Structure 1
Amino acid sequence: MSQLSVDGLALSDEQRLVRRSVREICESFDRAYWRERDASGEYPREFVDALAENGWLGALVPEEYGGAGMGTSEVVVMMDEIAAGGGGFSAAQAVHGGIYNSVPLVKYGSDEMKEALLPKVAAGEASIQAFGLTEPNAGSDSTSIETAAERDGDEWVVNGQKIWTSRVDVSDYLVLVARTTPKDDVEKKTRGISMFLVDLEAAYEQGGLEVEEIPKSASGFVHSFEMWFDDLRLPESALIGTEGEGFYQVLDGLNEERLVIAAECVGLGRLAIERGVAYANEREVFGRPIGQNQAIQHPLAEAYARVQAARQLTYDAADRADGAAEGERGSDDARAAIGARANVAKFLAAEACFAAADAAVQAHGGFGVAREYDVERYFREARLTRLVPITQQLALNYIGERVLGMPRSY
C-alpha cells in the first residue's frame, strides 16, 4: 500500500496487529479477483474462508467461546483494511454480517444457545450471515414490521415477509425480527417485537420458508433476498433474549456497528483515491501526466482530505465507544454521545467515499466506466453507502433532533 494507508493514525498495539494481519490476507486477492466476482456475481468464498480460517469472523465473540474478544476499535481497523485492500465496500459487506450477527447471541442468547453455536462461529464452522428486519411496508420505520411470531404450545409459528435480507444463500442461520405482540396491543410501538434464531436448513426442509434473489447493480456478489415465511415453526428455545424487547436489543450496539460501516466507507474512499492517483500519474495527454492538471489533481486532493477527516473521526469515535465503562454506556447521556458520533461518522464517511469514487472516475475519463479499471464498481458501491444501512437523511434526522435539539421531523 502507498502512503494513503499510513495517514498518521495513532493505533494501539492490537489495532496495528489487526491492520497488519488483515492486510496480508487481502494482498492474496488481487484486483482481477474482485473484478471477476463482480462480473460473475459469485460470492467471494475463498476470501471469506481465508478470513474465517484466521479467526476473523469471530472477532466479536468472547474468548471464552473461542473468539478474539475484540471491540469496535479493532473491528473498525479490520473493515477499513478489507475495503481499502482491493475488494471495496462489497468485500467488507461479504463478511460484515458474519461478524456482527453474532452480537445478539453474545449479549442476549441463552447459555445453551451460546455454548452450542458461538464456538462454531469463532472457528468458521457455522455462519450467521443473515439478519431479517426490513419488510416491503417497513423500511426505515422498523416498528411497522408485520411479520408475526405466535405461540403454539412450546413452539413459535412465524408468518410474514422480509425483503433486502443479504447473504441468506451463504448463511447457516438467520437472526429474525418479528412481532410477538400486535402493534395495536402495546402501549408503545417499539414494544412487542422479538428476535429469533432460525436454522435455515431446517426451515427449508420444513417447507416454511421460501426465498428469491433480488437482482441489483451494486454489491452484486453479496446477494440480497426476499423471504416468505408460511407457518414456519420454531422451537421455544429459538427466542433470543426477552420476548417483546427485541427492538431495544436491535438498537443496543447499533451505534458501534454504524461506526464499522463508516470505516468500510472510508476504506472504499482510500481505494478509489489510490486508483485515481495511480492513473493520473500514468496517463499522459498533450505530453504530460494528467495529474499535473489541477482539474484532475484538486478533486482527488479534496477527496483525500475529506476521507482522512472522516477516518480520523470514525477511529476516534470507536475508541471512545470502547472506552466508555459499561455503567456509563448504559446511561442516556453516554448513549446519546456515542449515537451522535456514530451518525456524524456514517454521514461524513459516505459523502467522502462518494466524492472519492466520483473523482477517480472523472480522472479516468472515458475509461472511468470501463470494468477493467475497477473505478466504476467503486462508484456504484459508493452510491450505495448513501442508502445503507440507513440513508443520509436519517443520519441527519438523528443529528438534528438528538444533537441540535430541533423538533422530530417524522
Structure 2
Amino acid sequence: MTYEIEIGRGKRGLRAYSLDDVAIVPNRRTRDPRDVSVNWQIDAYQFSTPIVGAPMDSVMSPESAIALGRLGGLGVLNLEGLWTRYEDPRPVLAEIVALEAAQDGAHFSPAVTRRLQELYSAPIQPELITSRLAEIRDAGVTVAGALTPQRTQEHYKTVVAAGVDIFVIRGTTVSAEHVSKTTEPLNLKQFIYELDVPVIVGGAAGYTPALHLMRTGAAGVLVGFGGGATGTTRRQLGIHAPMATAISDVAAARRDYLDESGGRYVHVIADGGMGTSGDIVKAVAMGADAVMLGTALARANEAPGQGWHWGAEAHHETSPRGDRAYVGTVGPMKQVLFGPSSHTNGTSNLIGALRRSMATTGYSDLKEFQRVDVVVSPYESV
C-alpha cells in the first residue's frame, strides 16, 4: 500500500523516508553479540562482513582494497580513477589533498573542481588496469573493479582478462534501457549474459528500475542516487531518493523477482548516505544484504584521501556534481570496522555496532534482521 500526498492542486507525490526518519524497535528477545553472524555471500564469494568499499579514489587504492579484503570485506577499485591514469598516482593524490579549501569554510571551491578536472583528464591506460587488478589478486583476496556504463564497452575485455572476480557497473543512475540517438547504448542484458563473472550494477532508486536491472541477470543491484557526503546531485539536478524508502522498494523488487524467476536471488546493496554505524544498521533493517561505504571508510588511516573525500561526480568534465569534502580520520581500518572505539558518534567499530543492534533486537543473522520492526521517527537530535 502506498500513500500519495497532495503537493498542490496539480501535483501529487509519494511520501518517502530517509534513514534518519526511521528507527529500529527492540523485540522481546535479546542475544549475546558473540552469537550473531554478519556473514555475507554473493555468487560463489563469501565474506565475513557485509561491507563493500566504494570505488572512489579517496577510499580504495589497491592497498586499501587488499586491507579491506583481509578484514572480511570487498574492496572495489575505481578502474577509471587515478590508479589507472598514472603509473604513480601518489603525487597526484598528495596534490589533491593539499588543494586550498574554500575560504568560507564550505566544501564548494571552483578552483579545486577545476584542478580535479585537469588531473582526471589524463587518459586511462589499459595496462594499468591489468597491473592494479593483478596486485590485488596476488594478495589472495577477492578482486573487484568498477567501470561506469559509459566506459564499460571500451574496457571490459581488459578487466575480464585481468582476472576480475566481481565486475561492478556503477553510475549515478543506471537503467536497463538507455536511449540515445547519437551513440550505441550498452545492452546490459546481453553484456551480463556473455560474461563469466558476476556483475553488480546500479544505482537504482525505485522498484521498477531495480526490477528491470534484476532481469538483466545482475548478481547484485546497488541502491542509491549518487548521494553521500560529497554529492551535490540534489542541489544541481533536483534528483533525490531518500534511502530508507529506496532500499525498501528495491528489496520488494528482489522479493517479486525471486518469485518471477523461480528462485533466483539478487542481492540488494545500499550505496550512499551511510556515514555512521547507525545508518548501516538501518540500511540492513530496510532490506539491504550489504552496504557500499565511501565516507565511513574514507576516515580510515589507510584511505588514499588522507581524510579528504571525493567521488567521480566531482571531476566530471562538463557537469561536476560533487565536492571534495573533509571527513577526517578516526583510526586504522581494523578499528573503523571492529573497534575498539573511543568515538561516540558511530564512526568506528561499525561491525561491532551492527552486531550489537542485531543482538539487542534478538536476530542471529542478516537475513533475519531484515524482518526487524521499525517505526517512523523524524530525526530531531544528534
For the aligned pair, the TM-score class normalised by the smaller chain equals under 0.3
With the length of structure 2 as denominator, give the TM-score of the two structures: 0.27
Structure 1 or 2, whichever has the larger Rg, is: 1
Higher relative contact order (CA 8 A, sep 6+): 2
With the length of structure 1 as denominator, give the TM-score of the two structures: 0.26
More helix by share: 1
